[in-house]
């Protein structure tokens, strides 16, 4: 059985997001929520692999991001 393809995000875009996160630009949002909104993941028709990301925070969000996305 083939492993599902991971979605791709450019490393520069991911680094920019993390920089904004560290600067506190996503006030009152969880890390997963901020990532989801920043990259407009709500526009994806298939949300299957994103389950739980919006609700996740901290280490859990980072683990979900790395399991779903390939940073290139």
Distance CA 5, CA 21 (A): 27
Taking only the tens place, the pLDDT of each residue in 12-59 is 999 999 999 999 999 999 999 999 999 999 999 999 889 999 999 999
pLDDT confidence of residue 40: 97
- Measured CA to CA in angstroms, residue 39 lies from 1, 2, 3, 51 at distances of 30, 27, 24, 15
Q: Would the pLDDT of 3 be above 60?
A: no
Domain coordinates of the chain in residue numbers? Answer: 7-71
Long-range contacts formed by 46-53: CB under 8 A, 24+ apart? 49/4, 49/7
Number of helices (H), then strands (E), belonging to the chain: the values are: 3, 2
Distance CA 9, CA 58 (A): 19
């Amino acid at each position: 059985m083939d492993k599902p393809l991971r979605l791709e995000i450019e490393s520069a875009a991911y680094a920019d997001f993390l920089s904004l996160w560290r600067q506190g630009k996503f006030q009152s949002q969880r890390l997963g929520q901020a990532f989801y909104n920043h990259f407009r993941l709500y526009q994806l028709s298939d949300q299957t692999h994103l389950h739980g990301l919006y609700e996740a925070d901290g280490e859990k969000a980072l683990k979900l991001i790395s399991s779903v996305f390939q940073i290139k």
